[in-house]
Amino acid sequence: MAIFITKPVTCPKCAQNSDTAVMISANTAEDADVRQKIFDETIFRWKCKKCGFSTRYQHPFLYNDIDRKFMIYLIPHVARPKVVDQKLEDEFTDMRDVRKRIVPDINSLKEKIAVFERGIDDMALELTKLAVSDVVTKETGHNVYAGYYTDMDEEKNSISFQFFVGGDKRSYIQTTRLEVYKRSRDIVKRYFPKENRKMGFLNIGMSWARSALEKYKSSGSGIDK
Ligand SMILES: [Zn+2]
């Protein structure tokens, strides 16, 4: 069953305080439409009862896909590399087989779900994304603000990302060959084999990819071998 808590929310438009029921966790086995509610953001919509103002309300949310064995914990703006929730570890005793991730925002939650559903290794994906984002920075002359996986096509031998670049966060689609992902997967298997079985929820995003790449480089292996 989905778990709700009541939270006082102040309307940013009319300043009215109201208690709001917020869904803080759900699993796909008991709530078949929870995935849809994340992708259309129903779970994160908030509407003022007084003035009708509606906005995106980003709040903590735990997504549990029991069949595919992954849990993704949205903790808004989380920057820590890992979060250990002892209560959760105690509650789900067989959690060591489950991939557990924390994400800092709704877009990353959607991305992580799509990535795990497609059977993609998210660590290899983040290494690929980092390499591709460097290409985007070179091509556009702007820094990459954020980037998300959009599609993998085995027939076309390609993997695609949507980046947001520059001060105005313009959308920029960049595709690369699957070999880049496959090579990244080999690196993960060889140099980070135990990361996946650790206790706690890992933050596997671009910061992780940057430090992983540093570790890999300092291990004495050239990235282009
Ligand atoms: Zn209002």
Cα–Cα distance for residue pair 86/88, rounded to 1 Å: 5
Distance set, CA 179 to CA 22, 75, 121, 128 (Å): 42, 33, 14, 10
Look at residue 87 in the predicted model and tell me its pLDDT: 81
Query: What is the Å distance from ligand 1's center to 9 Cα?
Result: 10
For residue 150, give the 3-state DSSP assignment.
strand
* DSSP conformation class of 24: E
Cα–Cα distance for residue pair 76/101, rounded to 1 Å: 13
- pTM value is 0.91
Q: Are 100 and 70 in contact (CB under 8 A)?
A: yes
Query: What is the Å distance from ligand 1's center to 21 Cα?
Result: 16
Around Cβ 54, how many Cβ atoms within 10 Å? 11
Q: Are 149 and 175 in contact (CB under 8 A)?
A: no
Query: What is the Å distance from ligand 1's center to 47 Cα?
Result: 8
Query: What is the Å distance from ligand 1's center to 81 Cα?
Result: 36
* DSSP conformation class of 97: G
Query: What is the Å distance from ligand 1's center to 62 Cα?
Result: 27
pLDDT tens digit string along 104-147?
Answer: 999 999 999 999 999 999 999 999 999 999 999 999 999 999 99
H or E element: which one contains 151? strand 144-153
Query: What is the Å distance from ligand 1's center to 18 Cα?
Result: 9
Query: What is the Å distance from ligand 1's center to 88 Cα?
Result: 35
User: What mean pLDDT is predicted for residues 153-163?
Assistant: 97
pLDDT tens digit string along 194-221?
Answer: 765 667 899 999 999 999 999 888 886 6
Q: Where are the alpha helices (DSSP H) in the chain?
A: 34-39, 86-91, 106-117, 122-140, 178-191, 206-218
